[in-house]
Amino acid sequence: MSERPELALRAKELDAADELAPLRGRFVLDDVVYLDGNSLGALPVNVPDQVADVIRRQWGEQRIRSWEENGWWTAPERIGDRIAPLVGAAPGQIVVGDSTSVNVFKALVAAVRMAGDGRDELLVDATTFPTDGYIAESAARLTGRTLRPVTPADVPAALSERTAAVLLNHVDYRSGRLHDLPGLTAAVHARGALAVWDLCHSAGALPVGLDEHGVDLAVGCTYKYLNGGPGSPAYLYVRRELQDRFDSPLPGWTSHAEPFAMSPAYAAAPGAVRGRVGTPDILSMLALEAALEAWDGVSVEAVRAKSLALTDFFLECVGAYTEPGRVECVTPAAHAERGSQIALRCPDAGEVMKRLIERGVVGDFRHPDVLRFGFTPLYVGFADTERAARVLGELLSR
């Protein structure tokens, strides 16, 4: 379909009124419409120089002194405290390190141990990212529990006095559906079980409220909406009231109460430090710390408001630029059920996404037939959104 001048004009007006628009300058971007920040966030402009300093001065000149003089040793907790406000947590409850998968394993096994021997069932989100399911199955075998996959909507009915813990995704990675964290956490607690949440597709895109809603344990990656870089370390949240009971299945030396005593007997450190395992990955960790400066002065509530406005406008533009029935939106229309992405079902989605990328609109394809577009409000604008929908319409009309 041809360009709709009224949509282009409205996009220009919305960008002019956008209080977050200046934040785009905090990132390395070009004229590509980048709608894949839900897989890999854009590079913040300050990261290269800060990483160069870590390599050349801290490592190259100060070498081992940097563990103390440049704060390498305390980086996991310090950076955790920078992430904390973005997920609604007070300081001292998040430790950064390892991958999301490793942290899921730590959280689930620790949750089962805290739940006690009388609870022999572990519930897992049946629609979860595959790795979470693999880890949950292994954790169940390791702890002698039965694993039961259920959809998030069916969790309240599936809970019983047998339930030890429940692993859920805040936002579904395929569809972008936002699940009811407050309601499901309350339901889990009402049956005496522990709630473990995967925040990979929500942290940095919308308010989470870990402390407010009494979440027990949570994990998340940092390379999506937090823009930490490819393979940047993940994080683990342990609610303060549970920290003295948190019994990690991976009791590494850096989580020891006296790590440099080199004692043959393990004694867990107090606080969220218990979530540490081995030596921190300093290069990627300090790149993440630099990247988080892009959030200075930014309100997560403002990010959420823009996210919803962007995704609403995208759906409007897709409706205007594509023939009826050519694509089907699988992301919920209701704001209370929507994350920060739009997933469109399209019969030839794989080929369509290749052609979109060739035209300078970058999203991603999810097997078998889903076009996935992630909207990162820190750097995506309304003109970007209109252009993406217009190019999609042009490609689908051929």
Query: Among 280, 243, 279, 248, which Cα is nearest to 266's?
Result: 248
Taking residue 25's Cβ as centre, other Cβ atoms within 10 Å add up to 9
SS3 284: helix
- Count Cβ atoms within 10 A of the Cβ of residue 141 and give its class: 0-12 exposed, 13-18 middle, 19 or more buried: exposed
Query: Among 295, 299, 286, which Cα is nearest to 79's?
Result: 286
Cis preceding-peptide flag for 368 (omega within 30 of 0): yes
- Assess contact for 111 and 216: CB atoms under 8 A: yes
Active-site amino acid positions: 129, 198, 223-224, 372
What residues have CB less than 8 Å from 28, skipping those under 6 apart?
A: 42, 43, 44, 45
DSSP string, 314-333: HHHHHHHHS-TTS-EE-S-S
How far is the C-alpha of 256 from the C-alpha of 274, rounded, in Å? 7
Query: Which token pair is 184?
Result: 């499901």
End-to-end CA distance of the chain: 10
Query: Among 176, 207, 186, 196, which Cα is nearest to 87's?
Result: 207
Q: Which residues pair with 147 in a beta bridge?
A: 122
Inter-CA distances, 2 with 10, 28, 376, Å: 16, 31, 27
How far is the C-alpha of 263 from the C-alpha of 394, rounded, in Å? 66
